[in-house]
Amino acid sequence: MYIGRAGREEIFEEFASYVSYGKVEIYRGLGFDFVPGRRQGCYIWDIDGQKRLLNCRSSGGVFNLGHRHPVTTEALRSALGELDCGDHLLISEQRAALAKKLAGLLPGDLTYTIFSVGGGEAIDLAIKLARGHTGRAGVISVSGGYHGTTGLATAAGDPKWKDKFGPLAPGFSQVPFGDLGALEGVVGEDTAAVLLETYPATGGVKVPPDGYFQGLREICDRTGALWIDDEVQTGLGRTGTLWAVDEYGLTPDIMVLGKGMSGGIYPLSATCISERLELFFRDDPFIHISTGGGTELGCVVTMAMLDVITGPGFLEHVREMGELLEEGLVQLGERHHDVQAGFRRKGLMAGIDMVEEPMGLLLSMELYKNGVLAIFADNNPRTMIIMPPLIAGEEEIGEILTALERSYDGVRESWDKVKTAEEGQEADGPDV
C-alpha cells in the first residue's frame, strides 16, 4: 500500500526537488542508491526488495528493538482504537502511567518526567531548567559530543554543528571528555550545568578513565552545578544495563532520554528530574510546554517498549551478544592490524578505530556492499560506529563480523589505490 508506489529514480528526483537536493547529490556521488522499502527485525530491504541490509546504525538507538517489533506495533494498533495525541495542557492518564513506570526504573531520586518529541528539545529543557534552578548561565559540554540541533542543544555542540548559524546563546564552553583536570579548571560560580553523554557516540563511542564520573559528581556537588546526563543513545539497555550510568552507581541531577523510547514507532523523549528540581515549576507549571511532547499514543508505545527491555533475560542477552561481538573484533584486529587500529565497546555499542581517517568513509561503503548499514562517527570520522538492534542474536553478530572482515579487505584495496595515486602525483611534480 505504501512501499513501491514510485520507482527508485522517481523517488530520488522528488526527494532532490522537495526535501534535500544536497543529500541526493552526496548519496549519488558515493554510489549509495538505497531507498528503504520493507523492514523487519534487524533488517531493511531496498525499495525493489533485491538488497537487504543488517541495520547496525539503528538510527542512533531508535531501532533498539529492531524494525516493527510486534509488541510495539500491536500497542499502537490497539491504542488507535481509543486514543489520539491528547492535549498537552490537560491532565493525562497515559503520561501519568508512563512517568510512574519510569520513576520505578530510573536511578536514585529521579521521579519526575517532562516529555518532549525529540532529544534536542529534551536537552533544551534540561539546560533551561539548570539555568532557572541555579540562577547561573554557564554550561560546560565535552568536545566531540552531540546533543541535537535545536537552539541550546546546538550551542552545546561542536563547531561543526553551530558555526554556520551565526551568534548562538552565550555562556557555553567545552572541555575534553574524560579530563577531570580540564573540567575542574572551568567549573566556577557561574556554572549552571555540566552536560555530557555517558559515552559520546558521535565522538566515536568514547569511554572515560576510571573514576571520571565519580570525580564529575564530586565537582558538581561541591560547586552547585548540575550534572545533565544525556542518555539519548546510551540508555534503554544499549550498554547492557538499563541506563549506562548504572555501571557507576551514580545519579545525575537530570537525565535525558530519547530515540529508543519510540520503540521505532512513535517519537517521544524525556527530561527526568528529582522533586527538588520539579519545585521550580510549581509557581508556574505552564512556563514550559511542548505541544507534541508525551502524546498519549507515544506513551502507550513506550510502555510496551519498556515491558520488552525489562523482561526476563533481555539485558543479559545484550551483554552476551556484546561480549561475542568483542571477541570477534579482537580477532579481526589481530588479522587486520593495518586497517583496524583498536576499538571500544559497551554492550552492543562499539566504536572501531581505523588506522587512517579516510578509512571510516571507505568502511561505510564497503560494509554497504557487504550487506551492513553502518556510519562513521560524525565528530570522529576515523571511527566506525556499530550499533545493531538489541534483539540481534548470534547469527546476526556473526554476519556483522563476516561483513567487517570482507570490508577490511576492500578498504585495504581502496586505500592502496589512493596511496598509489598520491605517489604518482608526487613523482610527476607540481603543475607549471
Minimal CA–CA distance to 277: which of 224, 232, 236, 214?
224
Question: What letter does residue 338 receive in the DSSP assignment?
Answer: T
- Helices and strands per DSSP (H, E), number in the chain: 14, 15
For the chain, the domains span: 7-35, 70-309
Residue 1 CA to residue 5 CA, distance in Å, equals 8
Look at residue 431 in the predicted model and tell me its pLDDT: 56
pLDDT, one tens digit for every residue, the chain (432 residues): 899 999 999 999 999 999 999 999 999 999 999 999 999 999 999 999 999 999 999 999 999 999 999 999 999 999 999 999 999 999 999 999 999 999 999 999 999 999 999 999 999 999 999 999 999 999 999 999 999 999 999 999 999 899 999 889 999 999 999 999 999 999 999 999 999 999 999 999 999 999 999 999 999 999 999 999 999 999 999 999 999 999 999 999 999 999 999 999 999 999 999 999 999 999 999 999 999 999 999 999 999 999 999 999 999 999 999 999 999 999 999 999 999 999 999 999 999 999 999 999 999 999 999 999 999 999 999 999 999 999 999 999 999 999 999 999 999 999 998 888 877 777 676 554
Locate 148 and state its grid cell. 541535537
As its CATH architecture, domain 70-309 has 3-Layer(aba) Sandwich (3.40)
In sequence order, the 6+-apart residues with CB closer than 8 A to the CB of 384 are 351, 352, 354, 360, 363, 364, 367, 374, 375, 376, 377
User: In the β-sheet with 349-354, what is the strand arrangement from edge to edge?
Assistant: 340-346, 349-354, 380-386, 376-377
Q: What is the per-residue DSSP string for 377-429? A: ETTEEEEEEE---TT--HHHHHHHHHHHHHHHHHHHHHHHHHHHHHHHHHHH-
Q: Grid coordinates in use for 184?
A: 575542574
